Amino acid sequence: MTAQTLLDVLEHCDMVEIDGLHAFEFSLDEDDNLHIECIDGRAAKHWVFTPAQVDAAMFDVTLQSWLIVGDSGEHRLVCSEAFGGSNDEEETDDNA
């Protein structure tokens, strides 16, 4: 099994948490820089990580998070998949 990189995980995740803050947006720009934006109280926060910084990120098995070092220091990223609900059960009533 090939070890996953942060870039691999980001391509398949729906939500990102950085330093305990839930990001409302994260994306890769045309130069493959990672942009993460969130709100901390009333303050908007924005981080940019270069492709080299994303490639150098290390997964911490104990904390189940990625350690990435950017221009502003070390940050912890948690990547998650969104949970979806479905009302299909209401559409198929076996007792009808």
Which pLDDT tens digit goes with each residue over 27-72? 999 999 999 999 989 999 999 999 999 999 999 999 999 999 999 8
Q: Which domains does the chain carry?
A: 6-80 (2.30.29.190)
State the pTM of this model.
0.79
**Which CA distances in Å does 89 have to 4, 71, 83, 84, 96?**
36, 49, 17, 14, 13
